[in-house]
Structures are given as C-alpha cells and as structure tokens.
C-alpha cells in the first residue's frame, strides 16, 4: 500500500470519527431538548387545564370525561329544540346492535316527543341517552343475550317514563316565569300572580306559549331567527308598582335559558328617564335563574357579592313613562352568531369574577402590600447583610449564627405570640402587620446578600474610603449598585410570597374592605356558592402577574442565584 493510499485511509477514518461525534452530539442534544420539552409540556398541563376551565360553564366540569377545552357554543336558530350534543353516541358494538330497537321504541311513543321536534331526529338524539340509562339499570345478563333476544328484552323496558326523563334532559326552551318588585322598605310583590304569563308580556317577533312546571305557571318563547341574520325579539310590559317608584329597589325576573347563547338585554323606563343594564344576560345555560336589576348606587361600590345587574342611566334619552307608580320594562333578545357565541362564552367567567367582587380593589390592596414589602425587605436585608459582610464589630459571628438559627423555628410556633403582640399594639384589622415585619429583615435573604457581598473585592471599598466615604456612603454608592442581581432575585421571591399570601390576611384581617386578592378570591368562592369557572378565571387573573414578572425578570433571578458566593 502506497503512502497516498495510507493518507487517504487516515482521512477516511478521521472523517468517520468526526461524523460519529457529530451524530452523538446531535443525538445528545435531541435527547436533552426532548426531555426539556416533555418536562415543560408536563408541568404546563395544570396551567393549560386552568385556562380551559376558565372558559367552561359549570356543567362541563362534572361530566364523565375530563376535557381541557370547553365545548363549542352553538347558537340555536330556533327554540324550543332538542339538544343533540347532550347525549354523545357510544362507540360500541352493543349500542349499534341495540340502536334499531331503541329507535323503534321512540317511534312507537311519539306522543312523548315535543310537538316542535322532528320524530326521526328525536329518535336519533334520544337513542344514546336511552342506551346510557338502560346500561345503568338493566342486569348484565341481559346484555349477554343474542341480539334478537336482547332487543326483545329491552323493548318493554323503554317505558314512557324513561322517554320523558331523557326528553327533559335535552329539551331546551326559553321560559319566563314570575316578575317581582322589591322596595327599599322590603315590600315585595309578584306582579304576575293570578294571570297567564303570555298575557303579561307584549311580544314582538315571537310567540309566548303558556305552560306549567309543577304548580308554577310559565310561558315558553317560541321563536325562529332568520338564517345568518341579526334578528331580535322584544318583550315589553308596563309595571304597576304597589309603592312609589322612587322607593323601587330591585326588579327580579325568573327565567330558564335555552342554551342558545343569544343575548338578552334589559331596558327600564321610569320618571321620564331611560336606564339600560350594564351587561346582557347570555342564554348559555338551561337551569332556572333569577335576573336582578337595580339602579347603580352605593351597593356597587361596596364589597358585597354583586348578584345583580346595575342599571345605568342613558344620557340624552327620555321616556314617556312619568307616572309616580309605573315602570316600563323591556327585554330584547338579540340573535348571536358563532363568533359572538364564542366571545360570550370566553368572557362569561371573567366578567363574573370582575363584576361579582370588587376585584380591582382587592388587586390594589395586594399591589400596595407588595410595594411596601419589597421596599422594606430590600432595605432592611441589604443593610443587615452589609453589617455582617463588610463591617467588623464584636459578636458579629455569634449574632450571624443566632440569626441563621431562627430559620429552624417553624412559623406556626411564633404565630400566636405575634398575633398577641399585634393585637396589643392596636394593629389588628389593619394592613400594618402585613408589611411592618419586612423592616425587620429575613434570615434567608440576609444570608443570600451576605454571601454576595463577601465576593465583592475589598479594593473597591478601600478606594471609596480613601475618597472620603463613610460606611453609609460605601453601602449606598458602592455595594448596592453591585448587588442588583441578588436584590432583583429577592424582590421576585418577596413579590410571589406577598402576592400569594393567604394565611397572614386570614389571621389579621376581618374587614372585607381590606382583603388582598388572595383572600378576596377565597371569600368570593364561599359566598358565590362554588362557581368553579369563575374561580378559575379569577385565579388565572391572579396568576398572570406572577408569570409576567418572572418571565421578564428571570435574567436577574438566575444571576442572583448563580453569582451568590462567587469570589473576585
């Protein structure tokens, strides 16, 4: 073999070695980034679930399947109707075999189907629901029979009562019931008592059909919007009050939405003025609800759970209703398209969280506490750390050891003594105990800053003293500018701790006007009856500032941790 051949052979080996190293490097990078990406996806799942839940209505959270994203809202063009999405079609051979007999049973009981529904469509919609109910009640031995015998055994079990139960679950209708008025003197009157609901309202663009549920009278609104249009239906009534109109406090309407996601707007005319509800009521549910209307007033500035819709006076508009005991109430049902339905569903829980509680007042209190705690913590901790790291004084090491030993004392041990001290000082039910302790320093933060300061060269301090600086000037003009990364790290820790603090406000505050956001959301959950969608929306709004602060300050956070204790 010639020297040329040996040289070419060596180059080929070197090239293969380089290629092998490159492939190993690529494989290693793919594995590392794959693990990081997988970990990021895994740990982001709870946050994704919280975002999805904040857009859901309550009934979507208690289904058989756990879903991350909300159901698609479908505006109904006509009502009443049968909801085809309520009973999902089972993907099983047993259902497909039983479906013909279930459809035949529904066809045989057409008298149980609402008149406005198509019988064939009703059979398609009801079959999955009947199958689901039969699977829960029929013995397992019946489902093991041959198809013909099983169909014969299931047919008599599809009773009229079973069909009625399934129809009740999917029959959607916009129903109106009583209208009550309440005065400031707590005088309450049902204005619809003793009269059919259909005769109570003057309807334009639809029809009211009387009915009853139990012993309570009601009326279903039968409507059909034009395809692709922006239709509207108007219901009007002049209310004769049993008390002077200036004593009117609230108007309460009882209605059952039809899950159509159309918007129901409210207009009130009295004393020659026109008032409009601040927000519409979207028909995104099918449970009975009470809509309360009242004039915007002191209650809207309080910390009460706002279960009413404020009426705002419309400037520049006048009304012909001037009688001292009359109020004209107008409801306008506006057709919604698919995009409008999505927007209505997306903002539903967020608007509820912002409207039902004084959200911005709670948020302002939290911001106030965060600012005071950050300023107090940075000043006190940096000053104490400077004394431990840069000054020489008797007992310095002993004092530092005693300070570090306090980190081993659980907070539960000092909770009661601290509460008694706060109460004896007259600070209970004030914001003072929630920020004043930041002026006393924190052992961990002092340790972090001390380690960083010990790494600063003494030459800088000596040069400052030669220029005539005293200890305070050295601390302020030399040390503080050099420890900005660690101060930023401590500020982030302090922000997250104060922003999410729940135990402190719970112990030291009893006045709801002083609540920060963390305790305010808890009070909202207790008073609003556990509306999980609105709780997730409020929690997401509370979490966003933490995420934004950490995202933009992560450079300082990493620098503050990695540079702590480094020399030179």
pLDDT, the chain, mean: 87
Claim to verify: residue 327 and residue 207 sit in the same structural domain: yes
**Mean pLDDT lowest among 12-21, 323-332, 518-527:** 12-21
Claim to verify: residue 404 and residue 460 sit in the same structural domain: yes
Note down the domain range covering 22: 1-53
Claim to verify: residue 274 and residue 289 sit in the same structural domain: yes
- Of 279, 311, 341, which one is at a domain's C-terminal end? 341
**Is 473 within 8 Å of 464 (Cβ atoms)?**
yes
Mean pLDDT, residues 56-80 taken together? 81
- Asked if pLDDT for residue 565 goes beyond 60, the answer is no
Claim to verify: residue 40 and residue 105 sit in the same structural domain: no
What is the DSSP secondary-structure string of 434-466?
Answer: GTGGGGG--HHHHHHHHHHHHTS-HHHHHHHHH
Q: pLDDT tens digits for 437-495?
A: 999 989 999 999 999 899 888 898 889 988 889 999 999 999 999 988 889 889 988 99
Claim to verify: residue 515 and residue 421 sit in the same structural domain: yes
Claim to verify: residue 485 and residue 551 sit in the same structural domain: yes
Would you call 101 exposed, middle or buried from its count of C-beta atoms within 10 A (0-12, 13-18, 19+)? buried
Q: pLDDT tens digits for 310-330?
A: 999 999 899 999 999 999 999
Q: pLDDT tens digits for 259-295?
A: 999 999 999 999 999 999 999 999 998 989 999 999 9
Q: Quick one: which of 329, 237, 233 has its CA closest to 274?
A: 329
Overall domain count for the chain = 4
Claim to verify: residue 322 and residue 209 sit in the same structural domain: yes
Task: Give pLDDT, residue 8.
Answer: 60
The backbone torsions φ and ψ at residue 234, rounded to the nearest 5 degrees and listed phi first, read -120, 130
Claim to verify: residue 25 and residue 88 sit in the same structural domain: no
- Of 140, 170, 200, which one is at a domain's C-terminal end? 170
pTM score, two decimals?
Answer: 0.81
- Both tokens of 230, joined, read 């922006």
Claim to verify: residue 192 and residue 282 sit in the same structural domain: yes
- Both tokens of 269, joined, read 């005319």
Helix (H, G, I), strand (E, B) or coil at 324: coil
Claim to verify: residue 236 and residue 299 sit in the same structural domain: yes
- Both tokens of 169, joined, read 């679950």
Residue 433 belongs to domain with CATH number: 1.10.3720.10
Claim to verify: residue 208 and residue 333 sit in the same structural domain: yes
Claim to verify: residue 159 and residue 178 sit in the same structural domain: no
Task: Give pLDDT, residue 254.
Answer: 95
Confidence of residue 213 (pLDDT cuts 50, 70, 90): confident
Task: Give pLDDT, residue 7.
Answer: 60
**Is 151 within 8 Å of 101 (Cβ atoms)?**
yes
Q: pLDDT tens digits for 370-421?
A: 999 999 999 999 999 999 999 989 999 999 999 999 999 888 888 999 999 9
Mean pLDDT, residues 237-244 taken together? 94
């Amino acid at each position: 073999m010639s020297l040329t051949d040996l040289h070419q052979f060596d180059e080929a080996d070197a090239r293969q070695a380089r290629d092998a190293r490159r492939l190993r490097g690529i494989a290693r990078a793919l594995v590392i980034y794959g693990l990081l990406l997988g970990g990021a996806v895994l740990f982001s799942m709870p946050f994704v679930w919280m975002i999805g839940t904040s857009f859901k209505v309550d009934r979507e959270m208690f289904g058989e399947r756990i879903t991350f994203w909300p159901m698609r809202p479908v505006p109904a063009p006509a009502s009443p109707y049968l909801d085809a999405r309520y009973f999902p079609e089972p993907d099983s051979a047993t259902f497909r075999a039983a479906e013909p007999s279930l459809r035949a049973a529904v066809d045989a009981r057409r008298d149980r189907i609402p008149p406005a529904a198509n019988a064939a469509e009703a059979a398609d919609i009801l079959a999955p629901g009947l199958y689901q109910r039969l699977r829960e009640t029929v013995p397992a031995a019946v489902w093991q029979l041959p198809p013909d015998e099983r169909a014969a055994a299931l047919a008599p079990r599809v009773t009229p009562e079973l069909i009625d139960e399934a129809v009740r679950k999917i029959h959607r209708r916009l129903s109106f019931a009583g209208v009550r008025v309440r005065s400031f003197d707590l005088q309450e009157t049902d204005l619809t008592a003793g009269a059919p609901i259909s005769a109570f309202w003057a309807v334009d663009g639809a029809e009211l059909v009387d009915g009853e549920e139990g012993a309570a009278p009601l009326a279903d609104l039968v409507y059909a919007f034009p395809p692709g249009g922006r239709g509207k239906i108007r219901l009007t009534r002049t209310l004769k009050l049993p008390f002077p109109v200036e004593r009117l406090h609230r108007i309460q309407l009882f209605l059952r939405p039809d899950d159509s996601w159309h918007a129901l707007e409210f207009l009130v005319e009295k004393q020659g003025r026109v008032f409009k509800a601040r927000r519409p009521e979207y028909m995104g549910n099918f449970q009975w609800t009470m809509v309360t209307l009242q004039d915007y007033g002191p209650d809207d500035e309080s910390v009460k759970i706002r279960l009413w819709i404020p009426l705002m006076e419309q400037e520049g508009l006048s009304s012909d209703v001037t009688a001292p005991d009359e109020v004209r109430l107008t409801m306008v049902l506006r057709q919604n398209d698919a995009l409008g339905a999505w927007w209505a569903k997306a903002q539903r829980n967020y608007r509820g969280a912002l409207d039902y509680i004084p959200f911005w007042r709670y948020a302002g209190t939290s911001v106030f506490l965060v600012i005071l705690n950050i300023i107090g913590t940075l000043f006190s901790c940096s000053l104490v750390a400077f004394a431990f790291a840069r000054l020489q004084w008797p007992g310095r090491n002993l004092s530092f050891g005693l300070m570090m030993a306090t980190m081993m004392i659980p907070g539960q041990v000092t909770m009661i003594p601290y509460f008694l001290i706060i109460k004896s000082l007259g600070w209970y039910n004030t914001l003072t105990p929630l920020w004043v302790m930041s002026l006393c320093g924190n052992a961990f933060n002092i340790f972090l800053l001390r380690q960083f300061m010990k790494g600063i060269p003494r030459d800088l301090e000596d040069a400052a003293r030669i220029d005539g600086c005293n200890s305070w000037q050295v601390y302020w003009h030399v040390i503080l500018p050099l420890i900005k990364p660690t101060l930023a790290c401590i500020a982030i820790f302090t922000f997250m701790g104060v922003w999410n603090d729940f135990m402190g406000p719970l112990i030291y505050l009893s006045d709801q006007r002083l609540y920060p956001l963390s305790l305010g959301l808890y009070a909202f959950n207790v008073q609003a009856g556990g509306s999980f969608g609105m709780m997730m929306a409020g929690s997401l709004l509370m979490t966003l500032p933490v995420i934004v602060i950490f995202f933009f300050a992560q450079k300082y956070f990493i620098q503050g941790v990695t540079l702590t204790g480094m020399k030179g």
